[in-house]
């Protein structure tokens, strides 16, 4: 029967970004299958594809059943487990048999995914998947996430790309103009230089300039930290403390190079070994001039802030691991078909022992390195897994924010540093305003004279950005600190820090960034209405335990 082969071929074409699902199914003559059935199957499989791809990958069936392509496995698995009628083929049909014999394994993977996402039943998961899909298609309520592309000025210019790669696209004057799924439009961002957004239906994944590192796929919000740091001619070296996969590193390098020419130097530090490799690849591709020095498998906390090597470091970008709660899932963007990797090995059967993770061992979130260039599949951060309950979330946020504070305080210890940006792709106040307040009130910040970078002091685009910090989160962070005699100017701090919300007309992911400055001449207590003698703010991550990395939670 042609249905599954035709559906698989349609998903392949749509995934290449050449056309839309509707245009492919109904606009093309010659399909043997009924159009409505074909559309229903392909759109359902696309909707479920992130879940199905993971199940197929983990089950390892692509390795065992060589006649299955990733898209064919997707549509067959969809009908096997999620369609009421099952696979529309006789049981003995060869194609049906190739997936049916793995039904137990695939079902187990579906159960694991469902539980991990926090849904008690398949129907609850289905409702969630449907709701997400309805939102995507309802332009009035939610906006299709545009594809943000930063033009890498280390390798090309905006003008060159506008007149070549993007010459065919219609120019629009608002982000909303590119949020329409069927449009082929381009918007030049009004806040971040050299950043554009294109409609979700246009895909430059396989374009030459992308493969050459001239285009960097980077959400608008993720461009804020390097831009807010705003390094200039007078600056020395800049450290990107938590760098992989390297989007902010290459952005920093581009800005610094434009200011300092050959003198520009960015030191990129990454602790994780797998992500270090991605960072190396990405920077090698994007930075032919050698502005960036990569420190692989390097714990930032182990860099000596007063050592000679870093005596010329005047700025730091700190974008540490976070809950990832602001991330826009790939399925919240345009029609994206998630495909299982053909290289994926079957996951180990879950035994009691294998489920246990050692304390401090980082949960493995990495995707296999694609053979092509390895940059696009390692994300800046992984989306948050739904916590079981509010208690688990609270615990998670305490551990994360202590870790983030510790890194921020370390950044504040660099002897020549004058500016720092701290960012997360989290929506939780604890990881954002909470960390900022705790850092500002810490001895480290006060002794070194760090204060928040006020809105009025920020680079033009950031000054104009409308979403600012959450005042109630600033106040909430101060509440437990009853011991302190220091009073912050809460409103000024809230206005100084920057937020992005996901799924709004801004077209960004959820994000947070704060700038810190120290003037060098004062003790920098400008945000403090009165600063009394040295005080014990709180433990604030200055614990003796050698916890130098966010290690996730153990299952124990
Ligand atoms: C949110 S990601 C960074 C994304 C990156 N800034 C970008 O824009 O592409 C956080 C990174 O910090 C790394 N990391 C966590 N703890 C670290 C530490 N102590 N030292 C250095 N890197 C660390 C993680 O492995 C992860 O790659």
> pLDDT (tens digit, 9 = 90+) per residue, 248-272?
999 999 999 999 999 999 999 999 9
Residue 374 has pLDDT above 60, yes or no: no
CA 225/CA 83 separation, integer angstroms = 45
Q: How would residue 154 be classed by pLDDT, with cut points 50, 70 and 90? A: very high
What integer best gives the mean pLDDT of the chain?
83
> Phi and psi (nearest 5°) for 347?
-70, 155
Residue 472 has pLDDT above 80, yes or no: yes
> What tens digit of pLDDT does each residue of 321-340 get?
999 888 875 434 445 677 78
Whether 242 has a binding-site annotation, put simply, is yes
Q: Ligand 1: which atom is nearest the Cα of residue 550?
A: 16
Q: Ligand 1: which atom is nearest the Cα of residue 321?
A: 10
Quick check: 146 and 179 in contact, CB under 8 A?
Answer: yes
Q: How would residue 131 be classed by pLDDT, with cut points 50, 70 and 90? A: low
CA 509/CA 528 separation, integer angstroms = 32
Q: Ligand 1: which atom is nearest the Cα of residue 301?
A: 19
* Distance set, CA 429 to CA 294, 391, 441, 505, 512 (Å): 31, 16, 16, 22, 9
- How many angstroms is it from 106 CA to the middle of ligand 1? 33
Residue 352 has pLDDT above 70, yes or no: no
> What tens digit of pLDDT does each residue of 292-326 get?
999 999 999 999 999 999 999 999 999 999 998 88
The third-level CATH classification (topology) of the domain covering 147-217 is Alpha-Beta Plaits (3.30.70)
- How many angstroms is it from 382 CA to the middle of ligand 1? 11
The predicted structure's pLDDT at residue 375: 37
CA 86/CA 75 separation, integer angstroms = 11
Catalytic residues: 425
Whether 290 has a binding-site annotation, put simply, is no
Q: Whose CA is nearest to atom 4 of ligand 1?
A: 380
> Phi and psi (nearest 5°) for 339?
-115, 140
Average pLDDT over residues 528-542: 36
Of 416, 234, 449, which Cα lies nearest the Cα of 313? 416
Whether 502 has a binding-site annotation, put simply, is no
3-class DSSP assignment, residue 37:
helix
Could you tell which of 246, 271, 411 is best to mutate to test the pocket of ligand 1, judged by most ligand atoms within 8 Å of the CB? 271
Could you tell which of 320, 374, 410, 431 is best to mutate to test the pocket of ligand 1, judged by most ligand atoms within 8 Å of the CB? 320
- How many angstroms is it from 222 CA to the middle of ligand 1? 13
Q: How would residue 142 be classed by pLDDT, with cut points 50, 70 and 90? A: very low
Residue 168 has pLDDT above 90, yes or no: yes
Helix, strand, coil percentages, rounded to 5, for the chain: 40, 10, 50
Pick from 9-18, 120-129, 478-487 the range whose average pLDDT is largest. 120-129
Average pLDDT over residues 2-9: 93
Could you tell which of 217, 244, 295 is best to mutate to test the pocket of ligand 1, judged by most ligand atoms within 8 Å of the CB? 244
- How many angstroms is it from 246 CA to the middle of ligand 1? 9
CA 114/CA 121 separation, integer angstroms = 8
Residues 6+ apart with CB under 8 A from 556: 356, 357, 359
Whether 73 has a binding-site annotation, put simply, is no
Q: Ligand 1: which atom is nearest the Cα of residue 248?
A: 8
Average pLDDT over residues 17-33: 77
Of 442, 417, 428, 430, which Cα lies nearest the Cα of 515? 417
3-class DSSP assignment, residue 82:
helix
CATH number at 223-326+386-530: 3.40.50.150
Decide which of 537 and 493 is more confident.
493
Quick check: 145 and 175 in contact, CB under 8 A?
Answer: no
The predicted structure's pLDDT at residue 226: 98
Whether 270 has a binding-site annotation, put simply, is yes
The predicted structure's pLDDT at residue 386: 59
What is the CB < 6 Å shell around ligand 1? Answer: 222, 242-248, 269-272, 275, 299-301, 319-321, 380-381, 548-549
> What tens digit of pLDDT does each residue of 81-96 get?
999 899 999 888 888 9
- How many angstroms is it from 291 CA to the middle of ligand 1? 19
The predicted structure's pLDDT at residue 350: 35
The predicted structure's pLDDT at residue 139: 37
- How many angstroms is it from 512 CA to the middle of ligand 1? 16
> What tens digit of pLDDT does each residue of 490-530 get?
999 999 999 999 878 899 999 999 999 998 643 344 454 43
3-class DSSP assignment, residue 332:
helix
Q: How would residue 25 be classed by pLDDT, with cut points 50, 70 and 90? A: confident
271-275: long-range contacts (C-beta < 8 A, 24 or more apart)?
271/242, 271/297, 271/298, 271/299, 271/300, 271/549, 272/244, 272/297, 272/362, 272/366, 273/297, 274/366, 274/369, 274/378, 275/244, 275/245, 275/366, 275/378
> Looking at residue 335, what DSSP letter applies?
S
Q: Whose CA is nearest to atom 14 of ligand 1?
A: 242
What is the ipTM metric for this complex?
0.99
């Amino acid at each position: 029967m042609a249905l599954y082969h035709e559906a698989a071929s349609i998903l392949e074409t749509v995934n290449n970004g050449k056309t839309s699902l509707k245009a492919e199914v109904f606009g093309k003559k010659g399909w043997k299958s009924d159009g409505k059935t074909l559309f229903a199957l392909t759109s359902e499989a696309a909707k479920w594809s992130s879940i199905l791809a993971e199940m197929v990958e983990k089950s390892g069936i692509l390795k065992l059943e060589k006649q299955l392509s990733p898209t064919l496995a997707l549509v067959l698995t969809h009908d096997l487990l999620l369609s009421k009628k099952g696979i529309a083929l006789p049981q003995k049909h060869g194609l049906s048999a190739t997936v049916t014999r793995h039904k137990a394994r695939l079902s187990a993977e579906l159960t694991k995914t469902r539980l991990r996402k926090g849904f008690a039943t398949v129907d609850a998961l289905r409702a969630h998947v449907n709701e997400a899909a309805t939102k995507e298609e309802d332009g009035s309520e939610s906006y299709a996430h545009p594809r943000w592309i930063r033009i890498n000025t280390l390798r090309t210019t905006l003008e060159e790309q506008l007149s070549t790669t993007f010459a065919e696209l219609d120019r629009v004057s608002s982000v909303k103009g590119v949020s329409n799924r069927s449009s082929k439009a381009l918007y030049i961002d009004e806040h971040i230089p050299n950043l554009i957004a294109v409609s979700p239906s246009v895909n430059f994944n396989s374009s030459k300039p992308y493969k050459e590192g001239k285009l960097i796929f980077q959400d608008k919000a993720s461009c804020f930290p390097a831009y807010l740091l705003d390094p200039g001619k007078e600056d020395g070296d800049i450290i990107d403390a938590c760098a992989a996969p390297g989007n902010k590193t290459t952005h920093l390098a581009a800005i610094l190079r434009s200011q300092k020419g050959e003198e520009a130097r960015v030191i990129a530090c990454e602790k994780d070994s797998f992500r270090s490799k991605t960072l190396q690849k990405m920077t090698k591709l994007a930075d032919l001039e050698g502005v960036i020095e990569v420190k692989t498998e390097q714990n930032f906390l182990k860099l000596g802030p007063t050592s000679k090597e870093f005596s010329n470091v005047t700025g730091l970008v700190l974008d540490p691991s976070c809950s990832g709660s602001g991330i826009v899932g790939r399925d919240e963007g345009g029609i994206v078909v998630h495909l299982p990797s053909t290289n994926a090995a079957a996951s180990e059967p879950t035994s009691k022992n294998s489920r246990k993770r050692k304390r401090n061992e980082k949960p493995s979130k990495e995707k296999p390195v694609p053979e092509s260039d390895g940059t696009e599949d390692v994300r800046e951060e992984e989306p948050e897994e739904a916590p079981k309950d509010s208690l688990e979330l609270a615990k998670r946020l305490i551990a994360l924010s202590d870790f983030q504070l510790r890194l921020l305080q370390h950044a504040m210890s660099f002897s020549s540093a004058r500016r720092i940006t701290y960012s997360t792709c989290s929506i939780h106040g604890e990881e954002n305003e909470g960390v900022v307040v705790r850092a500002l009130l810490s001895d480290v910040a006060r002794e070194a004279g760090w204060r928040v970078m006020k809105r009025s002091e920020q680079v033009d685009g950031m000054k104009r950005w409308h979403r600012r910090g959450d005042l109630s989160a600033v106040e909430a962070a101060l509440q437990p600190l009853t011991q302190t005699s220091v009073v912050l100017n809460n409103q000024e701090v809230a206005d100084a820090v920057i937020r992005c919300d996901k799924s709004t007309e801004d077209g960004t992911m959820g994000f947070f960034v704060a700038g810190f400055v120290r003037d060098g001449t004062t003790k920098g207590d400008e945000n403090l209405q009165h600063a009394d003698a040295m005080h014990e703010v709180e433990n604030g991550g200055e614990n003796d335990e050698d916890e130098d990395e966010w290690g996730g939670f153990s299952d124990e």
